């Protein structure tokens, strides 16, 4: 057994070698460390690869990584990272930086904001941006989302105008003609309510499981924007599109407050500019697809019909106004929205 002095010397030598070894590798380590030091923006969405929303997020990734070397963007489509409707909770727990969320997700946390999930509320994409981007209504909305949900809405975009899609053709003029049909809607309560307001039996199924549910007959139909039914190929497993135009649907690019607050001013500018650019890209692409959408669907064998729109609008708006939801709506808010 060497005496303690020698032991100490050998330990010291070993330690020195270890440290110098690390020192020699330092440049490599620091390069690796720097790469790991990048702030990573994980984005989760249920969107299918071919959706304008998905193409917009790839554009966001390119623009951010080209202008902010300190940032890395990871786009997770088809709800592969987080299930549809769980993105807000994931952001609150810092397991996710960005979720593409909806007014229905917001209403799950701020019940009186169910007003923003009503059918036939928004007139068109321009009205959508007034309501959610540039008005006092928008400022209040984003303020409450940030303070009560701990996420920041960085931008809104046009997901499309939602219509009813039927697995099997049926003559549909009024909501009564949808009675008894199992209509797939997304999971949250306000989506279920929309399905009922349209006259159908709402069936909650996540977006990435809809194609299978239609092909197996688990549901009789769904409601979705034209661009997304093309992107997700729902026309392959359905026969008819009924142009109810019951909802101009927004999508919000939402970031966790903790991640947003951790960005430098320069990083915030790069991110904000890229959010705005991708939103414009998505709006324009979605509207272009909708302009030719019905002929595209007809060329894919779909029957496209127009119902009695006034009958649908009157019925759906009446159901919302008489609902328990409406009792919680802030006084005058619906008039402020309509006035924008
Ligand atoms: C859907 O599941 O029908 C829906 O359109 C709901 C939207 O709020 C949004 O979640 C959307 O799916 C996904 O982004 C996929 O397009």
How many C-beta neighbours within 10 Å does residue 187 have? 17
- Is the pLDDT at 14 greater than 60? The verdict is no
The whole-angstrom separation of Cα 89 and Cα 319 is 30
- Is the pLDDT at 19 greater than 90? The verdict is no
CB distance 63 to ligand 1 below 6 Å: no
CB distance 46 to ligand 1 below 6 Å: yes
The ligand 1 atom at the shortest distance from the C-alpha of residue 47 is 15
In this predicted model, what pLDDT tens digit does every residue of 283-306 receive, in sequence order?
999 999 999 999 999 998 999 999
The whole-angstrom separation of Cα 158 and Cα 225 is 10
Q: Say how many Å lie between the CA of residue 243 and the centre of ligand 1.
A: 18
CB distance 203 to ligand 1 below 6 Å: no
φ, ψ at 235 (rounded to 5°): -65, -20
Q: Say how many Å lie between the CA of residue 127 and the centre of ligand 1.
A: 20
- Is the pLDDT at 16 greater than 60? The verdict is no
Nearest to 82 by CA among 187, 234, 211: 187
191 touches 185 (CB < 8 A): yes
Determine how β-strand 303-305 pairs with β-strand 240-256: parallel
Best of 80, 159, 189, 202 for a ligand 1 pocket test (most atoms within 8 Å of beta carbon): 159
Tell me the Cα Rg of the chain: 25
Nearest to 278 by CA among 39, 73, 22: 73
In this predicted model, what pLDDT tens digit does every residue of 200-256 receive, in sequence order?
999 999 999 999 999 999 999 999 999 999 999 999 999 999 999 999 999 999 999
In this predicted model, what pLDDT tens digit does every residue of 108-149 receive, in sequence order?
999 999 999 999 999 999 999 999 999 999 999 999 999 999
Please report the pLDDT score of residue 176 as a whole number: 98
Please report the pLDDT score of residue 18 as a whole number: 54
Q: Say how many Å lie between the CA of residue 336 and the centre of ligand 1.
A: 26
The whole-angstrom separation of Cα 143 and Cα 148 is 8
In this predicted model, what pLDDT tens digit does every residue of 51-87 receive, in sequence order?
999 999 999 999 999 999 999 999 999 999 999 999 9
- Is the pLDDT at 29 greater than 50? The verdict is no
Angle between helices 265-299 and 52-67 (to 10 degrees): 150
CB distance 161 to ligand 1 below 6 Å: no
């Amino acid at each position: 057994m060497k005496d303690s002095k020698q032991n100490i010397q050998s330990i010291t030598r070993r330690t020195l070698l270890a440290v110098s070894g690390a020192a020699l590798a330092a440049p490599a380590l620091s390069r690796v460390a720097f790469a790991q030091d990048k702030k990573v923006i994980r984005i989760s969405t249920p969107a299918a690869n071919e959706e304008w929303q998905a193409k917009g997020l790839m554009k966001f990734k390119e623009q951010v990584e080209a202008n902010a070397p300190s940032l890395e963007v990871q786009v997770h489509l088809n709800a592969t990272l987080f299930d549809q409707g769980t993105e807000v909770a994931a952001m609150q727990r810092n397991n996710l930086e960005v979720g593409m969320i909806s007014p229905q997700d917001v209403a799950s946390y701020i019940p009186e904001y169910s007003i923003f999930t009503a059918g036939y509320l928004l007139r068109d994409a321009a009205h959508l941006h007034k309501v959610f981007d540039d008005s006092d209504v928008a400022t209040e909305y984003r303020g409450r989302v940030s303070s009560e949900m701990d996420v920041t809405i960085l931008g809104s975009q046009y997901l499309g105008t939602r219509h009813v899609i039927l697995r099997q053709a049926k003559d549909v003029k009024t909501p009564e003609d949808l009675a008894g049909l199992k209509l797939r809607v997304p999971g949250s309560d306000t989506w279920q309510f929309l399905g009922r307001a349209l006259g159908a039996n709402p069936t909650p199924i996540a977006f990435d499981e809809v194609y299978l549910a239609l092909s197996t007959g688990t549901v009789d139909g769904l409601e979705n924007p034209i661009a997304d039914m093309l992107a997700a190929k729902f026309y392959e497993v359905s026969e008819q599109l009924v142009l109810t135009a019951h909802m101009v649907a927004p999508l919000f690019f939402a970031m966790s407050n903790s991640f947003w607050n951790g960005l430098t001013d320069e990083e915030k500018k790069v991110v904000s500019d890229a959010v705005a650019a991708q939103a414009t890209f998505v709006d324009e692409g979605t509207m272009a697809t909708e302009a030719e959408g019905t002929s595209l669907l007809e060329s894919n064998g779909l029957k496209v019909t127009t119902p009695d729109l006034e009958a649908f609008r009157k019925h759906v708006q009446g159901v919302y106004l008489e609902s328990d939801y409406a009792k919680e709506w802030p006084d005058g808010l619906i008039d402020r929205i309509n006035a924008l």
